[in-house]
Chains A and B, each alone.
Chain A
């Protein structure tokens, strides 16, 4: 029986009674321990349970952040990677290695920002930041990631910490440390130790576990390929969080600059203001045309012209993108005009365009030059596009003007507008019918598009005259439709003014109803709005709105007087329609709940929807429902089957979507039950998500040229910004190694006012800061010098002036400076010029309040003295100079040195400034009277921008604005002026001679004897001793007598001692005798008692 038998494997039951039983069992097994054994998990200690609960809630709550709307664009601009570190640490080497890694190109001369495509969805811009503090400040404001290079052999340097502090004040971008020079370490142990200490120091500075990267060795002037690759990977997967300042402000990190000033002007005046164009990716928020901007290191400007250009370093095409993970060589683009890469070579007074090479859009433009004239025109020269854009702008705003110009070119001269329209109508009849068909089909879209189209017109006119004409004609037609009421001639003026209101009201609805393009109605004549004239009688102004029609009318009829000024009235003041008429009333019948409801809202369909969402699991039941509905529908409606099918399909899709939504929400919520707070949080989150979705989808389909009109230049666009009146030094001393930033300013931020900030002296800064000493602040985009006044807030909200910043406390500071939103952080340095080994950042803080007046006060004590004193009233002089001053302080409380309180009542006539005051007690003439008040301190209106970009390179690091008084005194060798009152001197006190106390006789009589003054002189009979001068003989006697006395004294003392001893001895003897006597007596007693007891026993 050795035969091996194959047994049949056990078949586990999957259905049936047994399986169900088992399932039940396992399910109960799966229950948590808490569920199964409730007693074990019962609350034993209420306090502990409460603590546990509270802790849990705290942890949960800590996880929450205020949800923000996600405003990142679909195609974000390149992320800015700043490579920061002290000199000779290997910044350039690192950038070169990274660029080589990303593009396979060796860039020898790196100047300014370098943009590369690092992945399918990511571009990076590298900038190198030297240790100039201005440079570090500017870089920290724009960089998304900073690579902090640290020489491992040397350790951390002050610059590194300074940069971290600067970053912290400006929103803290992502920071990654990179250790270099690791190959210098000879022994492994030392290397390990160094790494560890550096890492921990870095962690305390940023956060526990912050990434510190090690670049182990340098081979042939380059870092190891593997190290760079790892670093590059880290960079390309890094997530960036939005920073408050940058999401609300638009900015550009300039990667190309050109001077467009007329050469002739420069020749005539080399110091003339320049017109400069800046190029770069728009970042942050939206750029608006004519926005005010600030260029750090240069000043405030307003944008003269802004336009977007095709992306010079585009991400790989989405459509073309294959399913590969890496980029191919063609897509690995690099753009660095300052370094001479990417097609455009930057030179001081010329730009060389490299036609071949890696510049991709150049190749594209070669292909598209025929069908995209705009692009080609941009490529050709900057001047032309500038002008052409200006031209097209003009046309956009006042198309009628533009049209008439062009029309006049083509159709010779025409007398009036009306004739022009007629002509055009004829034209259109003559012209091909197909054109009209197109118009009809896409009237709406044309209307929207024609802004963009017109912009192109100036470039296209030579090529396609007929097409352009069509567009223009269409526009003028719609204009005619739009404004046929408002439009008038001087001839028919009298006719329509008869019943102006009725006409107006009809026209009002008709116009807005008939026109498909309200946009145009509103913004068409915006250019004429600016120079509109109220009293103007010209007909063309009538076309920009009803208001002017009425206005004009007003000069004729006084009834319409208020409608004349109805511009100021929000009420629409037309005659009503006749609502008594049933037909008229019918037009609003469905506006009431009693009217007919829309299908999406009516009760029946809502019910049906509810069903769908309620039992979404029962798909089959749903299907049945559907069928039933279908049947119903078929009963009710007799429509085309195709239509029904389509609608069914849509319905089904809708249903599916709803099911998915319901599932998603349930899945997201999970098993946990959400309490009320969570529900609120979740609701807020979903709301914001919805908003973000709307933000993205609203303008998505539109052409960029139109989109820009609505939202401005969004982040990710490559923009060209033209700015006029830039100081010539900017161009003259331009150095691409210093980052140029164009920071957009919001409304009100170009204004200047009093800024109140919370400030704290940096604990590493060795000195304390003095009030009214100049301080350089980096706040918002700006770097500026100003004179802050430090203050501290009392409990009643009073801002009391401080002379110096407190050592380890926050205090307030108020200065005259640019208005910057509250909550913006800043850092302060005392000078940007000095190159000390010390820590340079003097203070950090945040903006609290902006105002146009300041409220800092300091204590003021006014001193006066009594002039005349009555019982409780006294006249006080010397406190004020005039009666007017006194009246200002009437009712103020005053106090004497001795603490008697009083009040100022009224000024008296003479002497000037004296007043009557009352006190709670009679004061003395010698009392000094104080009035304690507060004196408002003026904040000096000094604000100057640190203009480092306008200085030559060697002067840049030596910028010095206003000097401190101390500095000036030191330089000129002066001493501080001392107030003689402030010098401490020894007090001179007068000795007082009091008069003797005299008690009147009458009083003396009444006094008891005890209190009566005694007139018995105590030492009356005292004989005054006379000095005795002895003769030598007497002296001798005296000395002998003295000696005898001394001997006697000694003898007495000895006798006394002997006696003491004798007594002692005697006492001892007596004691011994006594003791002996006692013991004898005891003995006798004892024997006696013994005998007695014996005799007693015998008797018994």
Chain B
């Protein structure tokens, strides 16, 4: 029927996700026309090849200059897939797409991605592991949490990568509506300080520094050290820290920081600086708050919109730019409009006039799902 038309390279991933899920064809024109490197980048083409592996009957046509892409999506198949990701972006760039697709495949997804696990652009794979799997569990109604798995088999850091990540997820016919209006209070903080192809003491230095900050807010802090060597250490040296804060209502906030890639212009990072960066990022994330961490806002909104024709209601922190764009795209692809309002319901001032200090203003997002059904799933 009608072909959706877009211009420009931004939101490339969102458009692909929504086009594939809604089975709507689209054209993206004028991709990086005014740039030095005209057209689609390598990592974007790599993403297309990954999606092609996962779908059946899809066709993606890129014109000669690479500035125009015509997408005809196909049905999601899933299954056991191994994919070598581009080294320009981290694995999580691809994993975030897979998270959206996972419930709607024909066969449960079992993907091995090879590439960079932690970099300074994207969210790290560890963060996704801790913050996105609870979302899948919630929306898919999974009773056994071991069914969903994101596993870092080996770590790969930029520039050469070599990391390996396993992602497994069951499939569903429908998604469940979710109501989450209270994020609860943070009860524990966990973390992983990793170091690959560098001295093991670096991880300990990171832990010491980070703990110094975190213990000020809460006593239940534990940071694991993950020193890799041998074949599980990837191809480039580096270190970093990933922090996870868990609340009483099973909400997870994550943050991470990674050292500068070897041979970068910025020079060598100091472990303590990395620790501080991660801690500050975590505080920032806590400040934003909400029932879904900022990097998962879009995912949660997508699953809300794709759910059954019931009302879903969630509390979010300030909307991330990615989420805002996603909401707009959802309107054009799925015709779903969210009701977004400032959270007035939660207590702000107690009876004694004490004003609760819970970070930034929260947003309540409400929508009715479109009742999307997993069209790929086979019934017997």
A571 to B217: give the CA distance in the assembly, Å. 24
Contact A570 B320, beta carbon cutoff 8 Å: yes
A1048 in contact (CB, < 8 A) = no
Contact A590 B283, beta carbon cutoff 8 Å: no
Question: Which chain B residue shows the least CB distance to A748?
Answer: B23
1/0 contact string of B82-101 vs chain A (CB within 8 Å): 00000001000100100000
Tell me how far the C-beta of B128 lies from the nearest C-beta in chain A, rounded to whole angstroms. Answer: 9
Q: Which of B147-155, B164-172, B179-187, B233-241 contacts A (4 or more CB under 8 A)?
A: B179-187
Tell me how far the C-beta of B22 lies from the nearest C-beta in chain A, rounded to whole angstroms. Answer: 4
Question: Which chain B residue shows the least CB distance to A848?
Answer: B379
| Chain B 307-329 residues near chain A, CB threshold 8 A | 308-311, 313, 318-322, 324-325, 327-328
Contact B375 A595, beta carbon cutoff 8 Å: no
Chain B residues, CB < 8 A from A285: 309, 371
Question: Which chain A residue shows the least CB distance to B355?
Answer: A590
Contact A547 B321, beta carbon cutoff 8 Å: yes
| Chain A 564-598 residues near chain B, CB threshold 8 A | 565-572, 576-577, 579, 585-598
Q: Which of B30-38, B110-118, B200-208, B224-232 contacts A (4 or more CB under 8 A)?
A: B30-38
A808 in contact (CB, < 8 A) = no
A532 to B213: give the CA distance in the assembly, Å. 44
Chain A residues, CB < 8 A from B359: 587-588, 591
Known: A518-B342, A691-B311. A513 touches B318 (CB 8 A): yes
Contact A695 B340, beta carbon cutoff 8 Å: no
Contact A570 B296, beta carbon cutoff 8 Å: yes
Question: Which chain A residue shows the least CB distance to B22?
Answer: A747
Known: A567-B11, A852-B75. A746 touches B1 (CB 8 A): no
Contact A711 B338, beta carbon cutoff 8 Å: no
| Interface of chain B, main secondary structure | loop
Tell me how far the C-beta of A406 lies from the nearest C-beta in chain B, rounded to whole angstroms. Answer: 25
Question: Which chain B residue shows the least CB distance to A599?
Answer: B350
Tell me how far the C-beta of B171 lies from the nearest C-beta in chain A, rounded to whole angstroms. Answer: 12
Chain A residues, CB < 8 A from B313: 694, 698
Tell me how far the C-beta of A77 lies from the nearest C-beta in chain B, rounded to whole angstroms. Answer: 16
A71 in contact (CB, < 8 A) = yes
Contact A565 B9, beta carbon cutoff 8 Å: yes
| Chain B 13-44 residues near chain A, CB threshold 8 A | 13, 21-24, 30-35
Known: A526-B332, A691-B177, A748-B375. A591 touches B358 (CB 8 A): yes
Chain A residues, CB < 8 A from B46: none
Q: Which of A42-50, A410-418, A816-824 contacts B (4 or more CB under 8 A)?
A: A816-824
Contact B57 A852, beta carbon cutoff 8 Å: yes
Among A517, A521, A577, contact of B284 (Cβ-Cβ < 8 Å): A577
Contact A710 B339, beta carbon cutoff 8 Å: yes
A96 to B5: give the CA distance in the assembly, Å. 53
B287 in contact (CB, < 8 A) = yes
Known: A588-B286, A710-B337. A599 touches B361 (CB 8 A): no
Known: A523-B327, A579-B279, A637-B351. A710 touches B121 (CB 8 A): no
B280 in contact (CB, < 8 A) = yes
Contact A747 B360, beta carbon cutoff 8 Å: no
A430 in contact (CB, < 8 A) = no
B368 in contact (CB, < 8 A) = yes
1/0 contact string of A531-555 vs chain B (CB within 8 Å): 1111100000000011100010000
A100 in contact (CB, < 8 A) = no
Chain A residues, CB < 8 A from B324: 521-522, 545
A302 in contact (CB, < 8 A) = yes
Contact A533 B311, beta carbon cutoff 8 Å: no
A551 to B140: give the CA distance in the assembly, Å. 36
Tell me how far the C-beta of B295 lies from the nearest C-beta in chain A, rounded to whole angstroms. Answer: 4
A contacts with B, residue count (CB < 8 A): 92
B6 in contact (CB, < 8 A) = yes
Known: A577-B287, A598-B350. A568 touches B11 (CB 8 A): yes
A623 to B253: give the CA distance in the assembly, Å. 44
Contact B361 A571, beta carbon cutoff 8 Å: no
Chain A residues, CB < 8 A from B296: 570
Chain B residues, CB < 8 A from A279: none
Among A569, A585, A753, contact of B283 (Cβ-Cβ < 8 Å): A585
Among B7, B75, B347, B356, contact of A531 (Cβ-Cβ < 8 Å): B7
Chain A residues, CB < 8 A from B187: 593
Chain B residues, CB < 8 A from A546: 321
Known: A285-B309, A593-B187. A587 touches B287 (CB 8 A): yes
Question: Which chain B residue shows the least CB distance to A793?
Answer: B380
| Chain A 773-832 residues near chain B, CB threshold 8 A | 819, 821-823
Tell me how far the C-beta of A679 lies from the nearest C-beta in chain B, rounded to whole angstroms. Answer: 15
Contact B337 A588, beta carbon cutoff 8 Å: no
A248 in contact (CB, < 8 A) = yes
A1021 to B254: give the CA distance in the assembly, Å. 117
A243 in contact (CB, < 8 A) = no
A248 to B360: give the CA distance in the assembly, Å. 39
A450 in contact (CB, < 8 A) = no
A306 to B224: give the CA distance in the assembly, Å. 58
| Chain A 150-191 residues near chain B, CB threshold 8 A | none
B373 in contact (CB, < 8 A) = yes
Question: Which chain A residue shows the least CB distance to B279?
Answer: A579
Known: A547-B10, A570-B298. A591 touches B310 (CB 8 A): no
B378 in contact (CB, < 8 A) = yes
Question: Which chain A residue shows the least CB distance to B93?
Answer: A568
| Chain A 585-644 residues near chain B, CB threshold 8 A | 585-600, 637, 639
Contact A567 B22, beta carbon cutoff 8 Å: no
A286 in contact (CB, < 8 A) = yes
Among A592, A596, A751, contact of B186 (Cβ-Cβ < 8 Å): A592
A598 to B280: give the CA distance in the assembly, Å. 26
Contact B185 A591, beta carbon cutoff 8 Å: yes
Contact B368 A593, beta carbon cutoff 8 Å: no
1/0 contact string of A688-700 vs chain B (CB within 8 Å): 0001001100110
Tell me how far the C-beta of B150 lies from the nearest C-beta in chain A, rounded to whole angstroms. Answer: 15
B244 in contact (CB, < 8 A) = no
Chain B residues, CB < 8 A from A710: 337-339, 366-368
Chain B residues, CB < 8 A from A69: 308, 310
Chain B residues, CB < 8 A from A300: 1
Tell me how far the C-beta of B346 lies from the nearest C-beta in chain A, rounded to whole angstroms. Answer: 8
Contact B341 A519, beta carbon cutoff 8 Å: yes
1/0 contact string of B256-290 vs chain A (CB within 8 Å): 00000000000000000000010111011011110
Chain B residues, CB < 8 A from A691: 177, 310-311
A608 to B74: give the CA distance in the assembly, Å. 57
Tell me how far the C-beta of A452 lies from the nearest C-beta in chain B, rounded to whole angstroms. Answer: 14
| Chain A 721-750 residues near chain B, CB threshold 8 A | 746-748, 750
Chain B residues, CB < 8 A from A565: 9-10
Chain B residues, CB < 8 A from A361: none
B376 in contact (CB, < 8 A) = yes
Known: A546-B321, A598-B347. 12 other contacts (CB 8 A): A300-B1, A535-B34, A535-B35, A577-B280, A579-B283, A587-B357, A588-B358, A594-B217, A710-B368, A748-B375, A750-B1, A822-B373
Q: List 27 A-B contacts (CB under 8 A).
A: A289-B335, A519-B341, A522-B328, A526-B331, A530-B6, A532-B8, A568-B89, A570-B96, A587-B357, A587-B359, A589-B217, A591-B358, A592-B217, A595-B357, A599-B350, A694-B311, A694-B313, A699-B311, A699-B339, A710-B366, A711-B368, A747-B21, A747-B334, A748-B22, A851-B57, A852-B56, A853-B57
- A interface list, Cβ under 8 A from B: 69, 71, 248, 285-286, 288-292, 300, 302, 448, 508-509, 512-513, 516-519, 521-523, 526, 529-535, 545-547, 551, 562, 565-572, 576-577, 579, 585-600, 637, 639, 647, 691, 694-695, 698-699, 709-712, 746-748, 750-751, 753, 819, 821-823, 848-853
- B interface list, Cβ under 8 A from A: 1-2, 5-13, 21-24, 30-35, 56-58, 74-75, 89, 93, 96, 106, 120-123, 173, 177, 179, 185-187, 213, 217-219, 248, 277, 279-281, 283-284, 286-289, 294-298, 308-311, 313, 318-322, 324-325, 327-328, 331-332, 334-335, 337-342, 346-347, 350-352, 354, 356-361, 363, 366-368, 370-373, 375-380
Give the 3 A-B residue pairs with the shortest CB-CB distance, closest first: A852-B57, A534-B8, A535-B34
